[in-house]
Structure 1
Amino acid sequence: MIDILDYWDQDAAAQLCAVIGMPQEATAAILPEYGRFDPSGIARAFPLLLDRATGPMGVAAIEPAVAATGARAPWVWLAILLAAAGRREELDRERGIPEQVTLDTLAALSRFVRDFYTQEGSWGFRGQGWIWRQLSGGIYRIGALEFERFRYHGPALGEGDNALTPGEKLLSVHIPGDAVLTEAAIADAYARAEGFFARFAPDWDYQKFYCDSWMLSPRLNKLLRPASRILRFQRDYEILEFNEENCHYIRWIFGAQTDPALFKEETSLQRSVKAYVLAGGSVGAGVGVFAKGRYGLIDADRPIQ
């Protein structure tokens, strides 16, 4: 049984915050919780966060105790998740996973805090419903992108080599908000991912990369310049499904604002999408795949930077 008290350590949390780039304002709010919050009440639920099969149950079991702390809840959550991240570091080290991959993966905690600030204009956190994937070894960040072993449970889609079938094993691709999608970064991420999973999950016999994202919307072709990095990312994929009703793009492009008339116009992407939405359009989201092997495989024994 994993004991949360073994990881409930303010100094260790401070060190981890520093190496994963946690904003100082957030660190200053998190660290006092190691003296204020009593973790004994969540001791039984804590190990659930570290297992891919039970992560959501762990979040649900911990939520009432955290919610009871009121305005401190975001920082209590981060204290708990940093404790779990300390255990994730140990587990990855035991498996021989490169330290930089582990730290890049755990840096999602910091990214969620920064995303909250960008979207809300204040420091906070609301990523507990997602971040268990990183803490349980479900998602790893390798270079510019994140990768997750994923079994497809939707309807059959497409035809031929790129068709999706129910139950199929895939490597799902997530695009972090701070990813720089240059040609070289994309190629490096896919090649390293193939090497990484060949070494650390050799039984996961996937044949395709899979992505479900607003960045795969075919409507972006008429909103962005041909040289757009988003379109460059999209071109690898065969789009098998388009969901016009998906509105997740609003949060990622414009933050918390939901009134199109008040959408920001600070970037060319924001200006193009805002004009399109005001004219009655919707970006939506696409589901796409492409076969593994397109970018080769970087030797799994080579250090992953």
Structure 2
Amino acid sequence: MKGLDFMFISEFCRGIRLGEEASRIILDFRMEEEEYARLKQRFQTDCHSFFRQVTGTAGYRQMLLYLFARFAVDAYEEYRIREIEDNIYFDTFSDIRIWSEVCYRDYGEYGLEEYNWLQEHVRLQLFRLGRLQFQPIAYNGENLKVGQRLVEKHQLVLNVHIPEGEPLTPDEVSHSFRLARKFFRGIPMVYICSSWLLYPGLEQVLMAESNILKFQRLFYIYELNEASREAEQRIFRRLEANPNDYAEETSLQRAAKSLLNNGGRLGSGCGIYIPGERD
């Protein structure tokens, strides 16, 4: 790797606040530039083949951490061309840090297991603006009226994602939506979200004034997935066949475990939020 690239990789690791051990994996990784170029080309032209090849390699989680850090560095040029601020660049790619920490928690090693999701970031199809991430997509549901607005199938909307981390306070959420309005000029401010945070049954396990429920109430929830176990995965950090095996370290875990043991469900929901419109 060229010296200048190496220095920027170092800056990248600092910018996304990657820990020392994970940073060393990236900085010390050895790969010929010709091999990197071949893998990047495969990623760009046939990502399924790319992932099959890489995940079939010993130590693939560390390799993916290295590769996505390089992909992110390569994406910086396009950020500059589009005149997107550095803070948005580093905030967006902080997902690499978040998912490397999840990998350590789940597998005992720094790397990446949630590799498919990070495609959106390096292709500049998703951006983190404040607390939330936004992704322009075509709405694929049926025509839906929200307040006085009609949301039509295939229209361009902004898909909202909630990364792990800081509290989801109303002020931070409002700030993110204001940033999105400025950043995505020309795109109607119609937000969709599919998440366990939008499951109405959370009212049974959360305090009425919880930040999660305040976020949920912004959305008109138009679809539920009762079979989803995303909430269990997020709350307990793992899935168990028997709810009795779940931990009870937090009040949320205790309430969720009690609900599940008594035949309740924790699914996920899909919702639409249009500022100024109420159902």
What is the aligned counterpart of 1:69 among 57, 63, 71?
A: 57
Aligned AA (2:101)? R
1:134 aligns to what SS in structure 2? helix
Q: Structure 1 residues 227 and 182 mapped into 2: Cα distance closer, same or farther (>3 Å)?
A: same
Q: Structure 1 residues 44 and 162 mapped into 2: Cα distance closer, same or farther (>3 Å)?
A: farther
What is the aligned counterpart of 2:82 among 84, 95, 98?
A: 95
1:107 aligns to what SS in structure 2? helix
2:216 aligned partner: 234
Counterpart-to-counterpart distance in 2, 1:169 and 1:191:
18
Counterpart-to-counterpart distance in 1, 2:226 and 2:4:
45
CA RMSD of aligned residues (A): 2.4
Counterpart-to-counterpart distance in 2, 1:264 and 1:144:
28
Please report how far the alpha carbon of residue 8 of structure 1 lies from its aligned counterpart in structure 2 after TM superposition.
Answer: 9.9
Gap regions ≥5 residues in structure 1 = 295-305
1:170 aligns to what SS in structure 2? strand
Whether 1:196 aligns to 2:183 is yes
Indicate if the aligned counterparts of 2:61 and 2:110 stay in contact, CA closer than 8 A: no
Judge which range, 155-164 or 208-217, deviates more: 155-164
Indicate if the aligned counterparts of 1:7 and 1:83 stay in contact, CA closer than 8 A: no
Counterpart-to-counterpart distance in 2, 1:108 and 1:256:
20
What is the aligned counterpart of 2:197 among 207, 211, 215?
A: 215
2:11 aligned partner: 15
Aligned AA (1:99)? D
Whether 1:285 aligns to 2:265 is no
Q: Structure 1 residues 110 and 220 mapped into 2: Cα distance closer, same or farther (>3 Å)?
A: same
Indicate if the aligned counterparts of 1:237 and 1:290 stay in contact, CA closer than 8 A: yes
Counterpart-to-counterpart distance in 1, 2:4 and 2:41:
13
1:187 aligned partner: 174
Higher relative contact order (CA 8 A, sep 6+): 1
Counterpart-to-counterpart distance in 1, 2:218 and 2:274:
9
Counterpart-to-counterpart distance in 1, 2:128 and 2:3:
23
Q: TM-score, normalised by structure 2?
A: 0.89
Counterpart-to-counterpart distance in 1, 2:234 and 2:68:
23
Please report how far the alpha carbon of residue 239 of structure 1 lies from its aligned counterpart in structure 2 after TM superposition.
Answer: 0.7
Please report how far the alpha carbon of residue 45 of structure 1 lies from its aligned counterpart in structure 2 after TM superposition.
Answer: 5.1
Please report how far the alpha carbon of residue 162 of structure 1 lies from its aligned counterpart in structure 2 after TM superposition.
Answer: 5.3
Gap regions ≥5 residues in structure 2 = none
Aligned AA (1:223)? V
1:113 aligned partner: 100
Whether 1:275 aligns to 2:269 is no
Indicate if the aligned counterparts of 2:146 and 2:220 stay in contact, CA closer than 8 A: no
Aligned AA (1:171)? L
Indicate if the aligned counterparts of 1:21 and 1:110 stay in contact, CA closer than 8 A: yes
1:297 aligned partner: none
Q: Residue deviations 1:161-216, cap 9 Å, x none?
A: 45543212111110011142112111111011111111xxx3xx334111110000
Counterpart-to-counterpart distance in 1, 2:14 and 2:6:
12
1:249 aligned partner: 231
1:59 aligned partner: 47
Q: Structure 1 residues 248 and 157 mapped into 2: Cα distance closer, same or farther (>3 Å)?
A: farther
Whether 1:154 aligns to 2:150 is no
Counterpart-to-counterpart distance in 2, 1:268 and 1:164:
38
Indicate if the aligned counterparts of 2:181 and 2:189 stay in contact, CA closer than 8 A: no
Please report how far the alpha carbon of residue 62 of structure 1 lies from its aligned counterpart in structure 2 after TM superposition.
Answer: 2.1
Please report how far the alpha carbon of residue 42 of structure 1 lies from its aligned counterpart in structure 2 after TM superposition.
Answer: 5.3
